[in-house]
């Protein structure tokens, strides 16, 4: 049994009308022999992540951890400096161990309805995720560029809240497929 912790903010914990978080529910339906633990907390940034990583992630001794933070770090009203964000991601990766870590860039937003963030800033945070992954030897998923390059990307961001940030089922299907493909690429790292 492979233990996978999904560590993140509201995008990780969001239910979108289900009784349990949609991300881990969809992953569980597609991954056999995996135990999934959702460690998402709405509103969290990378400072919050460091405060709770021991209790919410490390205590489970996971085989793999997806790390999806940055949406709140990049928010105008509570912005975390890029260098601090980078330092925090390095620390998170060190604590989890790079070979167990899948860093995920923050997704883009639909700027027509999302006013607390914009894609120019989110792209900079996404570039930091790529740098930390390359420097640390962690895996990463470029959710920002893969999602924004979709012809219908604002449509994929439509969820129950329709705030241009918290995506619905189509967005989660897209993210889940990216995570599953990354895990398949890492088959040397885990025992099925």
Q: Consecutive 10-residue runs of the chain (192 residues): their mean pLDDT?
A: 96 95 96 95 98 98 97 95 98 97 97 94 98 97 97 90 92 97 78 48
The fold of 2-185 is Rossmann fold (3.40.50)
What pLDDT shows up at residue 52? Answer: 98
What pLDDT shows up at residue 186? Answer: 85
What pLDDT shows up at residue 171? Answer: 95
Which residues are CB-contacts of 106 (< 8 A; sequence separation ≥ 6)?
68, 69, 70, 71, 73, 74, 122, 125, 126, 129, 143, 144
Handedness of CA 166, 25, 134, 97 (dihedral sign): positive
> Which pTM was predicted?
0.96
The structural domains of the chain, with segments of one domain joined by +, span 2-185
How far, CA to CA in Å, does 82 sit from each of 111, 126, 151?
21, 10, 29
Please classify residue 120 by burial: count the beta carbons closer than 10 Å to its beta carbon, then call 0-12 exposed, 13-18 middle and 19+ buried: exposed
Query: Could you tell me what percentage of the chain is helix, strand and coil, using 3-state DSSP and rounding each to the nearest 5?
Result: 50, 15, 40
């Amino acid at each position: 049994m492979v233990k996978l912790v999904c560590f993140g903010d509201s995008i990780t914990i969001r239910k979108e009308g289900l009784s349990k978080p949609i991300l881990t529910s969809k992953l569980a339906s597609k991954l056999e022999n995996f135990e999934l633990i959702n460690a998402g907390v709405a509103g969290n940034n990378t400072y919050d992540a460091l405060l709770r990583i021991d209790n919410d992630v490390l205590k489970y001794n996971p085989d793999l951890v997806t790390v999806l933070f940055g949406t709140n770090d990049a928010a105008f009203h509570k912005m975390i400096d890029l260098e601090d964000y980078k330092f925090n991601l390095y620390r998170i990766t060190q604590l989890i161990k790079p070979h167990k870590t899948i860093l995920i860039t923050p997704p883009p937003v639909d700027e027509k309805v999302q006013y607390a963030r914009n894609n120019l800033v989110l792209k900079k945070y996404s570039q930091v995720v790529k740098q930390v992954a390359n420097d640390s030897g962690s895996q990463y998923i470029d959710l920002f560029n893969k999602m924004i390059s979709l012809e219908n990307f604002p449509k994929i961001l439509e969820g129950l809240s329709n705030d241009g940030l918290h995506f619905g089922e189509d967005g989660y299907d897209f993210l889940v497929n990216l995570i599953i493909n990354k895990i398949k690429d890492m088959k040397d790292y885990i025992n099925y």
